[in-house]
C-alpha cells in the first residue's frame, strides 16, 4: 500500500484553519496528516508591517512548510491561497508531490 501523504491547505483571503476545520476533519482519515497554514492577517497571525504581494506570501508559506516534520505532501490552494501556492510551486518544484487548486 502506498504511503499516505500530508495535505497542506493554503486558505483563500479571509480564510483560516478555523474556517477549514470541518473540511480538515473530513479529510483526516484519507491522509497521514492535514495541516492548514494561516496567512498573515488571518487566523490570529499578525499582519506584515509592509504591503505584501504574492511573492512574499509564497515565501511565508514556504518557510512554514519547511518547518513541518512531514514527508510527501499534497498542496491544496483555495482562491488567493491558490494564487500563492501556484507561485510557490512554479518556483519550488520540489515543494510537493501533488498540487490542487480550488476556486471559491
Inform me whether the pLDDT recorded for 104 exceeds 70: no
pLDDT digits (tens, 9 = 90+) for 91-103: 999 999 999 999 8
The whole-number pLDDT of residue 14 equals: 93
pTM (2 decimals)?
0.93
Q: Which helix (H) or strand (E) holds 101?
A: strand 98-102
Rg (CA), the chain: 13
Amino acid at each position: 500500500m502506498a504511503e499516505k501523504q500530508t495535505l497542506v491547505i493554503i486558505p483563500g483571503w479571509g480564510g483560516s484553519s478555523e474556517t477549514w476545520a470541518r473540511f480538515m476533519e473530513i479529510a483526516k482519515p484519507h491522509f497521514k496528516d492535514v495541516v492548514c497554514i494561516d496567512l498573515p492577517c488571518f487566523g490570529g497571525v499578525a499582519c506584515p508591517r509592509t504591503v505584501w504581494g504574492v511573492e512574499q506570501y509564497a515565501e511565508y508559506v514556504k518557510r512554514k512548510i519547511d518547518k513541518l516534520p512531514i514527508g510527501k505532501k499534497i498542496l491544496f490552494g483555495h482562491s488567493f491561497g491558490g494564487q500563492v501556492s501556484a507561485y510557490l510551486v512554479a518556483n519550488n518544484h520540489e515543494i510537493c508531490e501533488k498540487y490542487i487548486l480550488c476556486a471559491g
